[in-house]
Structure 1
Amino acid sequence: MPWTPPERPDWVRAINEGRIPPIAEQARRPLERDALVGEAAARLGLDARSAAGRIRALGRPGFESEPVVENLDRLLQALEDEADLHATGRWLTRRFLLRLLEVRFQILAWLDADPGVVDEEIAVPLFVAGAPRTGTTILHALLAADPRHRVPLGWELLRPVPPPTATQAGEAEDPRIALADRELVAPQTVVSGLSAIHEYGGRKPKECLSAMSFAFQSEEFTARYDVPSYARWLEASDMMPAYAMHRLVLQLLQRRTGPAAWVLKSPVHLHSLPTLLATYRDARIAVTHRDPLVLLASLTSLIASLRFAHSERVDPQAIARGHVERYAATFDQLVDWADSGALPAERTHHSHFRDFQRDALGIVRGLYAGFGIGPDEEAERAMRSVLESERSEGPGRHAYDPLPAAALAPADRSRFDRYRTRFAVPSEA
C-alpha cells in the first residue's frame, strides 16, 4: 500500500531533535499513571492522593465496576512499549492524557454537586454509523444544519464541564473553545495535508469516540497510535463502559440547555451496534455504505497520517492489512445483525456513497421519511448552504493511492462479497 510521508515542519523537527528544551523535558517524562493523575489533580487544585483514590468512581449506579484504571494502565503500557513515539508525539500525547484525566475529575465533581444529571433523558437519538470514508462526516454536517437537531461540537466533547448554557451552546465565546481548537488542530499542523483528509476544530461537529475516551476505552487511541496489544484488547472488550460514559457526557451537555434531538456520529458504532442499542433503546441508525476497497484505501491514508503525527514508524501495509481483517469481520456482523433483526429494520436507514454524491438532499429526505421526521424548508436551505460551502471552501481533495484488487489475495477480496451482495454496494473500481 503506497503512502509517502509528508515533509516535517521545521518546528516539529526542532522538537524531535531536542532543540526546544521545555518541550523536550516534558517529552522525556514517562507516561506513568500515578504521575499523570497527580499532575492532572494539581492542575485543578486537588489533593493528588485523594484524587488517585477517586479516579475510578463517577458517583453513578453502574460505574462502580468501571475498569478505568485497568484500561488506562493497559493503554499507557502499550504507548511506552509499542507506539515508538517521537518527541512531538510524546508531548502531544501527554497533553492529551492530562486533559482526559482533568475532565474526568471535573465530571466527578459535577456529579457530586448535581447528581440529577444521571436522570437526564436522551430521547430518540439519531446515530450516523457507517464505516470511515463513506460520507459519514458530510451526512452528519447536513443533519446538524437542521435547527431542530443538536450535534456535539468539538469543544463540548473535549471539555463538557461545566455543562454549557443555552447561550454557550449557541457558540458564544467560551475559553474552552480555543483550548479545544488548539488541541484538535495540532495534528494538522504536525502533518501537512491532514486537513484535506479530515478537518477538525473546536466549533465543528465531533465524533462520539472523544466521549468514550474518558473511559480510556476508545478507537481514538488506536487511530493515533500503533498499539497492537491495546487494539486486540479493545476489539474483544465489552464496550458497555465506553457507551455508559458516552451517555453521561450527553446528559451533562443537555443538563442546562434542556432536552435535545441529538444527532451523533462515529464509524466506531458500526462495530458495536447491539451495545449502542442496549444503551439507547430508541436510537435510530443511519448506515452509510461504500465499496470496501475504496474506503479501506482512504482509511489507510488517514490512519497513516494520524500516526505520523506521533511517530516516525508508520507501516501503511500493516495498517491496510489490519483494516481488511477488522472490516471484513464487521461487515459480516452487520449482515448477521440485519438478517436477525438485532438491527431493527424500522429504525435503520441505509444509503450508498455514490447515491449521496449524486443527490445528497435526496438521501436526507429519504432518511427523514423513513424515521418520521417532517420536512422543513429552513432546514433544507441550511443544508444547501452546507453543500455549497463544501464545494467552494472545502479543505481540498484527499489524494491517496487506491487499493487495487491485486493488492488483496482473492480469498481476502471475496470476504466482502457477502456484505456487497446483502446491501447492494456498487463497485467503484
Structure 2
Amino acid sequence: MSALDVDTLLGAARDKTGLSDYGDEWFVEPLRVLTKSLEQEARLSELGLMLTQQRLTALLSDRLRLRDLQAQHPEILEEEVTLAAEICGLPRTGSTLMHRLLASSPHVTTTLSWETSYLLPFPGEGPGAEIRKQKAKDKFQLFLEMSPDFGDIHTIEWDGPEEDVIVLDRTFTSMSFDSFYWVPTYGDWLRSVDQAPAYRELKEWLQVLQWQNPDRKGLPWVLKSPHHLMAVDTILDTFPGCKIVMTHRSAVKAVPSYASMVAAISAQYSDDVRPHDLGPYWSGRFSKTLKDFEEVRARRPESFIDVQFADTVTDPVGEAVRVTTALGLPADREALEEYVERNRAERHGTSHAYTAEDFGLTEDELERDFAFYQKEIKS
C-alpha cells in the first residue's frame, strides 16, 4: 500500500505537473483519513490499487494546476458566482432527472460531466476543449466496460449535466469516496468534519469554469448531489441566496437502490464486495444525515423547495416549471419538453432487479428506521 502513502502521492503530483505550490494544505488531513481507510478497509484488488493511486495523483495534480492558473490569472478570483439552487435528497429520488430538467434551460448553467473530470484546459487546447472532451468520452466508455450493469442503474451522459460532488473530490472531502470504496471510517469522519474549506474551494472551481466560458457570465448555477445533505448550513453560508431543492422518495425504495449502485461501482476496485455490509451502512448513514438535515431546515425554512419523486415522474415538465418559478427564474417550457423527449429516446438498458434483503436489510427495518422521514413522502 506504499502507493497510497500521502507524502508519496504529494510528490508524484509535483513530479507529474512540474509544479510545487499547493497553497493552503488543509486538504492533507482529509487525504490522510481517506488513504488510511483505503489501506485498512477497502480490500482493494491489484487493479483497484493502481486505479486509486492514479486517481488520487490526478486529483492532487489538479490542485497544483488550479493554484498555478490562479497565480497567472488573478482575475479568476474576481468572478462573481451566483448559485441559484443545490438539488439534494437521498440518492435515487429523482434528483438527477430534476437536475437535467432545470439545466436544460438557457437561463442557467451547470457542471457538465466531461468538465467535472477535466476542469482545467490542457496546454495548447483550443476553446472548444476538444482534448478534454475526447478523454472524457474514452474514460466513460472504459467505466461502462468495467461496470457493465451500471448503465441499467444510472444513465450516463458524458457531455450532459453532472453532480458537482465530483468537483469536490479534489478536496478529498466527498461522498464519492465511500460510494466507490468500502471505507466506513472515512464516511464516519466525513459526516462529522467542518466542510467549509471544501465549499470555499467549490466556489473557486466554479469561478474557473465561468472564467473559461464567457457565455456563463451572469447565468446562475443549478447544481446537484446527495452529498450536500451533510452540509446544508455550509452551502447556504457559502452561497448567499441559494435555495435547497429537496427531492423526496420513500427510503424503503431509495436505500436498497443506492446500495445496488454502490455495489456495481465498488466492484471495479475490489474483488471482495460484500453487499450485506453495504445496506446497513447506507441505511444508518442516510438516517443520521436526514435527521441532521431536518434540524437545519427547521432553522432556515425559507431556503427549501420540496419535490416529490412521484410528481417528477408523472409530470416532469410541470414540476420543473414549478421549481424554476419558485427559484425566481424564467421557465422555458419548450426547452423542458425537448429534454423530456430526448431523454425518452436515449434511455436504454433493462430493468434493474434487487431487493432490500440482497443488501442485508428488510423493508420492515427501513420503515422503522425512517419513520421520522416517511411523513414527507407523497404516496
TM-score normalised to structure 2 length: 0.91
CA RMSD of aligned residues (A): 2.3
Partner of 1:360: 316
The answer to whether the 8 A contact 2:251-2:366 is kept is: no
Partner of 1:181: 137
Q: Which has the larger radius of gyration?
A: 1
The code of the aligned residue for 1:264 comes to L
More deviation, 184-193/78-87:
184-193
Post-superposition shift, 1:29? 6.4
The answer to whether the 8 A contact 2:59-2:170 is kept is: yes
Structure 2 residue matching 1:30: 3-state secondary structure: helix
The answer to whether the 8 A contact 2:121-2:129 is kept is: no
Is 1:129 the counterpart of 2:129? The answer is: no
Could you give the per-residue CA deviations for residues 344-392 of structure 1, whole angstroms, max 9, x where no partner exists? 33x321111111111011111111222222333xxx2222222222222
The code of the aligned residue for 1:182 comes to D
Partner of 1:211: 167
Of 328, 332, 352, which residue of structure 2 is paired with 1:399?
A: 352
Structure 2 residue matching 1:146: 3-state secondary structure: coil
Structure 2 residue matching 1:255: 3-state secondary structure: helix
Of 17, 31, 38, which residue of structure 2 is paired with 1:44?
A: 17
Is 1:30 the counterpart of 2:3? The answer is: yes
Partner of 1:414: 368
Post-superposition shift, 1:135? 0.8
Aligned partners of 1:409, 1:384: CA distance in 2, in Å? 36
Could you give the per-residue CA deviations for residues 140-177 of structure 1, whole angstroms, max 9, x where no partner exists? 1111111111111122222222499xx94xxx352111
The code of the aligned residue for 2:344 comes to R
Structure 2 residue matching 1:231: 3-state secondary structure: helix
Instruction: Calculate percent identity across the aligned residue pairs.
Output: 28
Aligned partners of 1:325, 1:177: CA distance in 2, in Å? 38
C-alpha distance 375-68 of structure 1, shift in aligned 2 (>3 A): closer
More deviation, 351-360/114-123:
114-123
Structure 2 residue matching 1:129: 3-state secondary structure: strand
Structure 1 residue matching 2:89: 3-state secondary structure: coil
Of 119, 134, 152, which residue of structure 1 is paired with 2:78?
A: 119
Partner of 1:13: none
Aligned partners of 2:199, 2:122: CA distance in 1, in Å? 19
Question: Which structure 2 residues correspond to residues 29-428 of structure 1 after superposition, within 5 A?
Answer: 30-46=3-19, 51=20, 54-55=21-22, 57=23, 64=24, 67-162=26-121, 168=127, 172-256=128-212, 257=214, 258-338=217-297, 340-342=298-300, 344-345=301-302, 347-376=303-332, 380-403=333-356, 407-408=361-362, 413-421=367-375, 423-426=376-379
The answer to whether the 8 A contact 1:157-1:249 is kept is: no
The answer to whether the 8 A contact 1:298-1:400 is kept is: no
Aligned partners of 2:236, 2:225: CA distance in 1, in Å? 14
Post-superposition shift, 1:410? 5.2
Post-superposition shift, 1:201? 4.7
The answer to whether the 8 A contact 1:196-1:396 is kept is: yes
Could you give the per-residue CA deviations for residues 231-271 of structure 1, whole angstroms, max 9, x where no partner exists? 11111111112211111100111124123211111111122
Post-superposition shift, 1:293? 0.6
Aligned partners of 1:144, 1:163: CA distance in 2, in Å? 26
More deviation, 79-88/212-221:
79-88
How many aligned residue pairs are there?
Answer: 372
Aligned partners of 1:232, 1:330: CA distance in 2, in Å? 11
Could you give the per-residue CA deviations for residues 290-330 of structure 1, whole angstroms, max 9, x where no partner exists? 01010111101000111111101111121110111111122
Post-superposition shift, 1:124? 4.0
Could you give the per-residue CA deviations for residues 192-215 of structure 1, whole angstroms, max 9, x where no partner exists? 111221233541212111111111
TM-score normalised to structure 1 length: 0.81
C-alpha distance 87-286 of structure 1, shift in aligned 2 (>3 A): same
C-alpha distance 124-40 of structure 1, shift in aligned 2 (>3 A): closer
The answer to whether the 8 A contact 1:196-1:395 is kept is: yes
Aligned partners of 2:329, 2:175: CA distance in 1, in Å? 31
Q: Which runs of 5+ in 2 are unaligned?
A: none
The answer to whether the 8 A contact 1:129-1:267 is kept is: yes
Aligned partners of 1:185, 1:276: CA distance in 2, in Å? 33
More deviation, 82-91/275-284:
82-91
Post-superposition shift, 1:122? 1.4
Could you give the per-residue CA deviations for residues 73-128 of structure 1, whole angstroms, max 9, x where no partner exists? 22222222221111221222122112101111110101111223223221242211
More deviation, 296-305/37-46:
37-46
